[in-house]
């Protein structure tokens, strides 16, 4: 979606974001729900006219089957079914919420080390916003069971609901989270009385980070965006109590890039280790994190990498 690394870095330095806005039904009367995905998690958009290898699950499944894209087998998730899915009712019939389209319009996403296809109805357009124009998802009644991580205005009175695709991934494939939790059982405690600050807008990613830091026997505080973390850090004499910051990159209100930039630009906090934890491993993100003097870059909340980084920095 972004043509080159320089334009990607420029977008982040200006504390801005881009989202692909789409619908799951026809929007002929401008009355369809609008959804969004950060473009940095999107590899391509295709009309898929090949065979879909169906999987076991029937009407209760969120995954429709597998696509073959240039020789790669990619699971296809029906976004409408996922939004209707409720873990408390695992046998619920999801077929009535399926995206009703004869054509398979698919957003191919790559994040957290996985590639998945998302079936949608139609693309609206790419929306360019500053992170200050994006609100935390549950503040205006758009929580949708924790599946919406943020919201922003589209045009007039319409709202785009930014989906928590990490949550979509683990709800469709629960074994992923079970494996992540299992990995936390094999990390060693870090001896420190310092508090770890964590900023993350995805509930699933936050839960993983909490489990990791708890397994390290460290104190921590969590924040749904960079703004709340920075306010807490620079108030109540907290700076001396904090041992390290772990932050996501793409967050509403204030992004992780802005968190990193402000901490490293302030004489009071420039010594504070900042570890970027991201589901996106693009070269542009790594380059920008390096240019802003990040002290570590971890993909997909890897427990042992976080342990090694924290152990090294908290001993200093």
Answer yes or no: do 234 and 256 share one domain.
yes
Helix axes 203-215, 175-183, angle to 10 degrees: 20
Please, which pLDDT band fits residue 243 given cuts at 50, 70 and 90?
Answer: very high
Q: Is the pLDDT of residue 81 over 90?
A: yes
- Residue 142: the pLDDT is 42
Q: CB of 200 within 8 A of CB of 75?
A: no
Strands 72-78 and 114-120: parallel
Per-residue pLDDT, 145: 65
- The secondary element (H helix, E strand) that includes residue 9 is helix 5-13
Same structural domain, 224 and 138: no
Contact 145, 85 (CB under 8 A): no
pLDDT, residue 140, reads 41
CB neighbourhood size of 241 (10 A): 14
**Shared-domain flag, residues 159 and 243:** no
Between CA 288 and CA 267 the distance in angstroms is 21
> What pLDDT shows up at residue 184?
67
Q: Whole-angstrom Cα distance, residue 37 to residue 55?
A: 26
Q: Looking at residue 111, which CATH number applies to its domain?
A: 2.40.50.180
Spell out a b/e string for 257-291, using b for 16 or more CB atoms within 10 Å of the CB, else e.
bbbbbbbbeeeebeebbbbbbbbbebebbbebbee
pLDDT tens track for 127-168: 999 888 888 755 444 445 689 988 999 887 899 999 999 899
Let me know whether 217 and 134 are in one domain.
no
Using the 3D structure, point to which of 172, 194, 219 is the last residue of a domain: 172
Domain shared by 102 and 211, yes or no: no
Handedness of CA 173, 211, 237, 313 (dihedral sign): negative
Closest by Cα among 172, 215, 207, 194 to 277: 207
pLDDT at 137: 59
Same domain, 111 and 253: no
Q: Do 83 and 25 lie in a common domain?
A: yes
165 and 203 share a domain? no
283-291 and 5-13 are packed helices; what angle lies between their axes, rounded to 10 degrees? 50
What is the predicted pLDDT for the residue at 204?
85
pLDDT band at 182 (very low <50, low <70, confident <90, very high): low
pLDDT tier, 13 (very low <50, low <70, confident <90, very high otherwise): low
168 and 179, same domain (yes or no):
no
pLDDT tens for residues 250-304? Answer: 888 888 888 999 999 999 999 999 999 888 766 666 777 777 789 998 887 678 8
Order of strands across the sheet that contains 114-120: 42-48, 104-111, 114-120, 72-78, 63-69, 53-54
DSSP-derived 3-state class of residue 202: coil
CA–CA separation, 82 and 170 (whole Å): 11
Split into its structural domains, the chain has a count of: 2
The CATH number given to whatever domain includes residue 219 is 3.40.50.2300
- Residue 2 pLDDT level (bands cut at 50, 70, 90): very low
Give yes or no: residues 163 and 185 share one domain.
no
| H or E element at residue 303 | helix 303-314
Picking from 172, 194, 224, the residue at the C-terminal end of a domain is 172
**Run of H or E residues at 79:** helix 79-84
Instruction: Please tell me the pTM assigned to this model.
Output: 0.84
Helix (H) or strand (E) holding 129: strand 122-130
pLDDT per residue as tens digits for the range 18-74: 899 999 999 988 889 999 998 888 999 999 988 888 765 566 689 999 999 999 999
Domain shared by 81 and 198, yes or no:
no
Classify 5 as helix, strand or coil.
helix
pLDDT at 33: 94
Structure tokens at 38: 């950060």
pLDDT at residue 302, as a whole number: 77
Asked if the model's pLDDT at residue 82 lies above 90, the reply is: yes
Residue 111 in contact with residue 166, Cβ under 8 Å? yes
**pLDDT reading at 97 higher than 60:** yes
Residues 165 and 233 in one domain: no
Rounded to whole angstroms, what are the CA distances from 18 to 41, 42, 121, 214?
A: 11, 11, 20, 34
> Which residue range is the domain that position 31 belongs to?
1-172
Give the pLDDT score at 270.
94
pLDDT, position 8: 56
Considering 172, 207, 242, which residue would you say is the last residue of a domain? Answer: 172
């Amino acid at each position: 979606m972004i043509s080159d690394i320089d334009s990607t870095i420029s977008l982040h330095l200006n504390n801005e974001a881009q989202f692909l806005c789409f619908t799951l039904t026809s929007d002929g009367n401008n009355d369809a729900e609008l959804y969004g995905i950060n473009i940095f998690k999107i590899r391509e958009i295709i009309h898929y006219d090949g065979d879909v290898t169906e999987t076991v699950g029937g009407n209760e499944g969120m995954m429709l089957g597998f696509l073959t894209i240039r020789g790669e087998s990619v699971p296809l998730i029906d976004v409408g079914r996922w939004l209707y899915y409720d873990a408390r009712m695992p046998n619920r019939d999801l077929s009535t919420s399926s995206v009703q389209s004869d054509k398979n319009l698919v957003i191919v996403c790559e994040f957290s080390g996985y590639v998945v296809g998302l079936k949608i109805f139609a693309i609206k357009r790419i929306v360019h916003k500053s992170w200050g124009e994006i609100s935390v998802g549950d503040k205006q009644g758009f929580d949708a069971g924790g599946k919406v991580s943020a919201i922003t205005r589209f045009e007039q009175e319409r709202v785009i609901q930014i989906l928590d695709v990490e949550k979509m991934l683990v709800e469709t494939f629960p074994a992923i989270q079970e494996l992540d939790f299992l990995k936390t059982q094999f990390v060693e405690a870090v001896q420190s009385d310092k508090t770890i600050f964590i900023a993350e807008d995805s509930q699933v990613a936050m839960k993983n980070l909490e489990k990791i830091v708890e397994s390290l026997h460290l104190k921590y505080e969590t924040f749904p965006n960079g703004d709340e973390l920075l306010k807490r850090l620079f108030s109540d004499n907290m700076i001396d109590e904090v041992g390290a910051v772990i932050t996501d990159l793409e967050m509403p209100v204030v992004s992780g890039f802005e968190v990193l930039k402000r901490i490293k630009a302030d004489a009071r906090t420039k010594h504070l280790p900042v570890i970027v934890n991201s589901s996106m491993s693009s070269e542009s993100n790594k380059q920008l994190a390096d240019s802003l003097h990040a002290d570590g870059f971890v993909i997909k909340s890897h427990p042992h990498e976080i342990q090694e980084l924290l152990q090294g920095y908290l001993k200093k």
